[in-house]
C-alpha cells in the first residue's frame, strides 16, 4: 500500500500521509509521492486549495531517517529532497493548507511550515525536536520558522526541543486556527469556496511576490490578464 493518498473534493485537493507503521514518516517514497501529487493539484484548473494532512490522528513524525541512511550520500539526498519538496509547496500556484489532525514532529513540522496556512486540532503539537537527535532543520524549516516567530523565539524553540500546543502555536502565528480534526476538511472546503471569485493567476502571482518581495514584477505579469467589469465599482 502506498504511504501517500491523493483525493479531490471539488475545489480542494487532499494529499494524505498514510503510513501507520511509521506514524506518517517521510521516507524517500513518501516524499516523492507528496511532490508528485502536489504538482498534480497545482496543474488542475478547478483546484483552488491543496490540503496536506495525515491519517490515523498524526500529521507527520518527521523524516524516516533510517531509510535515508541506507542511501549513498544520505545527508545530501535527504536535505536536497526535503528542501525541494518544501520549496515546491511554497512555489505552487495555488495556496497550500497544512491540516494537522495530530502531532507534526521534526521534519514534519518543517513540512507544515512550508504551507501557506496551517490549522491544528486542539490536541496536536508542533514538535521541534531536531536537537534531541543531534540534528537541526534541513528542509528549509529554520528560515521559515525564523520568519514567522523571529530569530530569538526560533532559537528558543529548537534549543528547548519545544512541544508547541495549539493555543501557543496560534499565539506565535504558527497556525491560523484551532479546528478539531473531524472538521478540518469542511473548514478547508469553506476556505476554498471563499476564494472562488479570486482569479487563480493573480493569486499565484501574489504568492510569488510574497515569497520573493518583487511586487512590481508580479503586478506587471498580472496586468495583461486584467478583467474589468462592465461598470467600474460593480
pTM: 0.94
Domains defined for the chain, CATH in brackets: 4-193 (3.90.226.10), 198-225 (no CATH)
Separation between Cα atoms, residue 149 and residue 126, nearest integer Å: 13
Please state, as a whole number, how many other Cβ atoms lie within 10 Å of the Cβ of residue 144: 20
Rounded to an integer, the average pLDDT of 189-203 is 94
Q: Strand pairing of 117-120 and 96-100?
A: parallel
How far does Cα 1 stand from its chain's mean position? 23
Radius of gyration of the chain (CA): 18
pLDDT digits (tens, 9 = 90+) for 121-173: 999 999 999 999 999 999 999 999 999 999 999 999 999 999 999 999 999 99
Which pLDDT score is estimated for 233? 57
* 33's grid cell: 509521492
Q: Band the pLDDT of 229: cuts 50, 70, 90.
A: confident
Amino acid at each position: 500500500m502506498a504511504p501517500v493518498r491523493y483525493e479531490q473534493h471539488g475545489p480542494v485537493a487532499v494529499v494524505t500521509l498514510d503510513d501507520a507503521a511509521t506514524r506518517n514518516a517521510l521516507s524517500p517514497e513518501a516524499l516523492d509521492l507528496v511532490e508528485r501529487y502536489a504538482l498534480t493539484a497545482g496543474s488542475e484548473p478547478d483546484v483552488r486549495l491543496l490540503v496536506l494532512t495525515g491519517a490515523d490522528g498524526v500529521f507527520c513524525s518527521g523524516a524516516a531517517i533510517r531509510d535515508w541512511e541506507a542511501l549513498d550520500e544520505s545527508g545530501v539526498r535527504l536535505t536536497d529532497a526535503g528542501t525541494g519538496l518544501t520549496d515546491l509547496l511554497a512555489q505552487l500556484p495555488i495556496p497550500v493548507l497544512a491540516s494537522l489532525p495530530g502531532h507534526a514532529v521534526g521534519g514534519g513540522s518543517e513540512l507544515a511550515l512550508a504551507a501557506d496556512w496551517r490549522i491544528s486540532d486542539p490536541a496536536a503539537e508542533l514538535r521541534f525536536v531536531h536537537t534531541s537527535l543531534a540534528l537541526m532543520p534541513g528542509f528549509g524549516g529554520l528560515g521559515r520558522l525564523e520568519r514567522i516567530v523571529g530569530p530569538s523565539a526560533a532559537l528558543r524553540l529548537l534549543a528547548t526541543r519545544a512541544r508547541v500546543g495549539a493555543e501557543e502555536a496560534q499565539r506565535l502565528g504558527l497556525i491560523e486556527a484551532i479546528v478539531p480534526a473531524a472538521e478540518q476538511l469542511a473548514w478547508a472546503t469553506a476556505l476554498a469556496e471563499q476564494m472562488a471569485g479570486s482569479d487563480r493567476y493573480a493569486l499565484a502571482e501574489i504568492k510569488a511576490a510574497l515569497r520573493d518581495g518583487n511586487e512590481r514584477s508580479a503586478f506587471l505579469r498580472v496586468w495583461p490578464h486584467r478583467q474589468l467589469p462592465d461598470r467600474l465599482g460593480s
